[in-house]
Amino acid sequence: MAEIGVKDLKAHASEVVANVEGGTAYIVTKRGRPAAVLMPIEDAEDAVLANADEYVRLRRHARADHKAGRSISIGDLD
């Protein structure tokens, strides 16, 4: 993942966004320390979804149901 400082990001924002749209991801640094990540929206959707409250709640319920035997195999869906 490429790195870019906040000052460079500010000076070259349009170019950086174009690169991100093309698939490049950046770690944005502030005073040399990682502060943020810029990534294509397609990649970010998975990260956001994986941490969305409703998705996390549903995932926990599904795991509990599976552990308790309240699930079926994919082969039984036919």
pTM of whole model > 0.95?
A: no
Mean per-residue pLDDT, 34-58 = 84
Mean per-residue pLDDT, 52-77 = 87
1-39 maps to CATH 3.40.1620: yes
Query: So what's the pLDDT on residue 78?
Result: 67
Query: So what's the pLDDT on residue 5?
Result: 97
- Evaluate if residue 17 carries a pLDDT over 70: yes
Asked which of 10-19, 33-42, 45-54, 67-76 is least confident by mean pLDDT, the reply is: 45-54
DSSP letter (8 states) at residue 5? E
Are 28 and 8 contacting, i.e. CB atoms less than 8 angstroms apart?
no
Are 29 and 35 contacting, i.e. CB atoms less than 8 angstroms apart?
yes
